[in-house]
């Protein structure tokens, strides 16, 4: 046992066998260690520790099972060309975690400690960062409410944990466009709700619509605003961009859209390249209209998992449009290449986005 930055580290005595790096998939394998930090009312957050990866034991009345007070984050560690481990803008995820905490009435975590915890954990499990092209180590920080009490009130106890999962290349045969269907019945989030927080309930509520469009041959749902069912919000678990007549637009943050780290990075890159990018309200009607007038050049989702996911086909209200001949657009491709190149250290990190782990 040792202590680094106040974090106690107890290493496992029996390391697991590593899975085949070409068959990783997503979120199926977990590493040898995890980080845990406890919260007790009156005492605050305490006992930061890295321990062997192990099951969690909770009372059947633990609040997480009943009232869903919980938040999470998702980010990745990348093995760079020269053998370093890279995190991509981790402070953004930690800031978002605290914004989610605020919405869900979970006590905020110390951002410096949270970043240290993630760094130390990845260092302890550094041999789990995969090296096959396109692979990475997915990092999942999350907080659950653990007080054994049945009643709708903020929990008095929480656990902040970080687990790690080596994940495969999202695109095995190169980036390729998907078919998306606009959702008219079900809603992911609404103004005044929890859409801008990364919290479990938003994902649970999306499953039914996702299953419905999947049965019709679409990969993901495009979510509209819950009030007028007119304005585009997100696509699946990604933010969304459209290139119309040379300019790029993305839905403005309105309280029901998650503020993606990739979304922000895409906007920074576009500005850097001199391409106009505007955050504003976008109706699905406008997108279909732009397509009709031959002005809809590209459409894509952005998120940590896929980085950039081009939209090849968009269905809405019985109509279907094919965007850019269902090929990956020039800007989509350039964004994907630049972002992944920065992440894997193949391109200069002009924005200082990378946090290198000293090993």
Name the residues that contact ligand PLP, by CB under 6 A.
74, 234, 237-239, 258, 260-263, 302-304
* CA pair distance 103, 246, nearest whole angstrom: 37
Q: How far is the CB of 91 from its own copies (least distance, A)?
A: 22
* CA pair distance 157, 208, nearest whole angstrom: 31
Which CB, 207 or 350, lies closer to its own copies?
Answer: 207
Which CB, 7 or 308, lies closer to ligand PLP?
Answer: 308
Q: What is the distance in angstroms between the CA of the first residue and the CA of the last residue of the chain? A: 18
* CA pair distance 48, 7, nearest whole angstrom: 5
By the rule CB under 8 A, 57 interacts with its own copies: yes
User: 196 and 182 in contact (C-beta within 8 Å)?
Assistant: no
| Owner of token pair 């391109």 | 347
Which residues inside 221-260 make contact with its own copies, applying CB under 8 A?
226-227, 229, 236-237
Coil vs helix vs strand at 249:
strand
Binding segment for its own copies (CB under 8 A), chosen from 113-121, 138-146, 264-272, 275-283, is: 138-146
Residue 262 touches which member of its own copies, ligand PLP, none, C-beta under 5-8 Å by kind: ligand PLP
Which CB, 220 or 313, lies closer to ligand PLP?
Answer: 220
User: 326 and 312 in contact (C-beta within 8 Å)?
Assistant: yes
Total of residues contacting its own copies (CB under 8 A): 66
By the rule CB under 8 A, 193 interacts with its own copies: yes
Which CB, 124 or 175, lies closer to ligand PLP?
Answer: 175
Give ∠ CA 79-357-166 in degrees, rounded to 5: 40
Phi-psi region of 317 (alpha: psi -120 to 50; beta: other; left: phi over 0): left
Coil vs helix vs strand at 223:
strand
* CA pair distance 128, 205, nearest whole angstrom: 33
Of 232, 241, 247, 231, the residue nearest 265 (C-alpha): 241
By the rule CB under 8 A, 278 interacts with its own copies: no
Residue 260 touches which member of its own copies, ligand PLP, none, C-beta under 5-8 Å by kind: ligand PLP
Q: How far is the CB of 107 from ligand PLP (least distance, A)?
A: 22
By the rule CB under 8 A, 351 interacts with its own copies: no
Q: Which residues pair with 181 in a beta bridge?
A: 221, 315
Which CB, 191 or 346, lies closer to its own copies?
Answer: 191
One symbol per residue from 143 to 172: x for binding its own copies (CB under 8 A), - otherwise; what is it?
Answer: -x---xxxxxxx------x-x-x-------
* CA pair distance 327, 238, nearest whole angstrom: 19
Enumerate binding residues for its own copies (CB under 8 A): 26-28, 30, 34, 53-62, 64-70, 72, 103-105, 138, 140, 142, 144, 148-154, 161, 163, 165, 185-187, 189-194, 199-208, 210-211, 226-227, 229, 236-237
């Amino acid at each position: 046992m040792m202590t680094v930055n106040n974090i106690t580290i107890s290493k496992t005595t029996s390391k697991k066998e590593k899975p085949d790096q070409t068959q990783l998939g997503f979120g199926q394998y977990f590493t040898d260690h995890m980080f845990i930090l406890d919260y007790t009312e009156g005492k605050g957050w305490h006992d930061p520790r890295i321990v062997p990866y192990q099951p969690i034991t909770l009372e059947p009345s633990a609040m997480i099972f009943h009232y869903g007070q919980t938040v999470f984050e998702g980010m990745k560690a990348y093995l760079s060309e020269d053998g370093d481990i890279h995190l991509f803008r981790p402070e953004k995820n930690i800031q978002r975690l605290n914004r989610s905490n605020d919405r869900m009435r979970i006590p905020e975590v110390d951002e410096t400690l949270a970043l240290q915890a993630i760094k130390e954990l990845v260092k302890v499990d550094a041999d789990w960062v995969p090296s096959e092209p396109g692979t990475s180590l997915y990092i999942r920080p999350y907080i659950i409410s653990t007080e054994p009490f049945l009643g709708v009130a903020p929990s008095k106890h929480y656990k902040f944990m970080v687990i790690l999962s080596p994940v495969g290349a999202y695109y095995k045969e190169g980036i390729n466009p998907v078919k998306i269907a606009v959702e008219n019945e079900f809603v992911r989030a609404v103004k005044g709700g929890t859409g801008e927080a990364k919290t479990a309930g938003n994902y649970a509520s999306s499953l039914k619509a996702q299953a419905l469009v999947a049965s019709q041959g679409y990969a993901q749902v495009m979510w509209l605003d819950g009030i007028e069912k007119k304005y585009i919000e997100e696509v699946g678990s990604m933010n969304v961009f459209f290139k119309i007549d040379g300019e790029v637009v993305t839905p403005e943050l309105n309280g029901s859209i998650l503020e993606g780290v990739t979304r922000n990075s895409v906007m920074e890159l576009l500005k850097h390249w001199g391409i106009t990018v505007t955050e504003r309200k976008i109706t699905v009607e406008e997108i279909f209209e732009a397509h009709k007038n031959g002005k809809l050049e590209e459409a894509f989702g952005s998120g940590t998992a896929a980085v950039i996911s081009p939209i090849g086909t968009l269905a809405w209200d019985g109509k279907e449009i094919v965007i850019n001949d269902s090929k990956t657009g020039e800007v989509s491709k350039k964004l994907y290449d630049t972002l992944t190149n920065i992440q894997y250290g193949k391109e200069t990190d002009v924005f200082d986005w990378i946090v290198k782990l000293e090993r």
